[in-house]
Amino acid sequence: MIKNIRRFSKAVTKSLIKEYYHQPGTVPGTIFIDENAESPIIFLIDYNQENYIRKQIETPEECIAYLDTESVSWVDVQGLGNQDILQRLGNVFELHPLVLEDVVNMTERPKMEDYEDQLLIIARMVVPKENICGFYSEQVSLVLGKNYLLTVQEEAEHDCLEGVRMRIERCKGIIRRQGADYLAYALLDSIIDGFFPVLERYGEQIEDLEEEVIVEPTQRTLQKIYKLRRELLQLRRAIWPQRDVINNLVRDGSGLISEEVQIYLRDCYDHTVQVMDMVETYRELASGLMDVYLSAVSNKMNEIMKVLTIVSAIFIPLTFVAGIYGMNFNTEKSPYNMPELNWYWGYPICLAVMAAIAIVLLILFWRKGWLENSIKVK
């Protein structure tokens, strides 16, 4: 089993190296498409206070007519399985080659890059799995321009941005009266808030594990704790750099983000700190569960040893008596050579004495409290 774990660890390490690093000497800005990536689907949402358009477009060039208008244009690309479409998308939005590389590389660390006329924000989005404790994680890249916002997602199946789309469609709140910078804030806020449902499930799982660890800890319990700690570590790696990203947006600002939106970003930063606090708290609880598990297993072993010790202590004097009567004696040579061997009731009396010894010892152990919880040990 240990060999299999080591082989799996080596395989994961090699896959991570392939994902994170290109071949030495690769030209900067070169993009590589995963052969298993989904084909891109492009959605366009164009809106202002009076008008609203939402449609799926076939080619990136259809976006050009909307980029020079005063309305806000949100181009949402879902899927990265076509290099030609991504290159054409970069040409339409005049993306720097390094921006396009960061957008396509789905293993980027959350960060912010200011290119004067464009602002690149890379975030990590998590979506809870259905019916089980766990989450889907994917990268979301936001390219903010003067009147437009380009978002690129790894896939279309798991998304926590539908609430923002519905607010735009139904004209709820002030989003239709604001610019593209407020739209970027709304998406970041939705991404950060998406961590809370995931953490809520982990909180419930920790409560269940606490009861399981105390009542009936098993090897399966240990596996659950390890899995919980590993997934919480993934959440920590996702939220920690995002705090720095939003903090930089609040502290340093950008020419593309108004002062009014910076106030909203402060609230988003507060949510990020809350998520971090919850993640750290749950990680500490998970580490505490490991200690409780080891203590529970040790206590269970101590109870078992206590029962075995009590049983051994009862049988020691019985074995002593039986050992004496198992010796060879000759009563004809001496009256001290155990004359009760010739008694008519010698055998029943011996058994009765042994039973009396066992009962006396049990009463003694019970009065000293040594039998408490021992009977319940399985």
- Looking at the fold, whether 177 and 317 belong to one and the same domain comes out as no
In a domain, 338, yes or no: yes
Higher confidence at residue 226 or residue 310? 226
Q: Please check whether residue 361 lies inside any domain of the structure.
A: yes
Instruction: Tell me, yes or no, whether 162 lies in a domain.
Output: yes
Q: In this structure, what CATH number is given to the domain that contains residue 181?
A: 3.30.460.20
- Compute the 3-state secondary structure of the chain and give helix, strand, coil in percent, each to the nearest 5: 60, 15, 30
Number of domains composing the chain: 2
Domain final residue, candidates 192, 216, 232? 192
Domain boundary (175, 192, 209) is at: 192
My answer on whether 180 and 56 are in the same domain is yes
Whether residue 181 contacts residue 119, with contact meaning beta carbons closer than 8 Å, is answered with no
Q: Is 356 a domain residue?
A: yes
Residue 3 pLDDT > 50: no
In a domain, 198, yes or no: no
Q: Is residue 70 part of a domain?
A: yes
Q: What is the CATH number of the domain that holds 337?
A: 1.20.58
What is the residue range of 50's domain? 33-192
Q: Is residue 245 part of a domain?
A: no
Mean of the pLDDT values across residues 20-24?
54
What is the C-alpha to C-alpha distance for residues 80 and 107, in angstroms, rounded to an integer?
A: 13
Condensed to tens digits (0 to 9), the pLDDT of residues 67-123 reads 888 899 999 999 888 888 888 988 999 888 888 888 888 777 889 998 888 999 999
Domain boundary among 170, 192, 214: 192
**Residue 278 domain flag:** no
Distance of CA 69 to the CA centre of its chain: 43
Q: What's the token pair of residue 56?
A: 């799926």
pLDDT digits (tens, 9 = 90+) for 314-346: 888 888 877 777 776 766 767 777 767 777 777
Long-range contacts of 88-93 (CB under 8 A, 24+ apart): 88/59, 88/60, 88/61, 89/42, 89/60, 89/150, 91/60, 92/60, 92/61, 92/63, 92/64, 92/67, 93/63, 93/67, 93/118, 93/143, 93/145, 93/148, 93/150
Q: Find out whether 141 and 151 touch, Cβ atoms under 8 Å.
A: yes
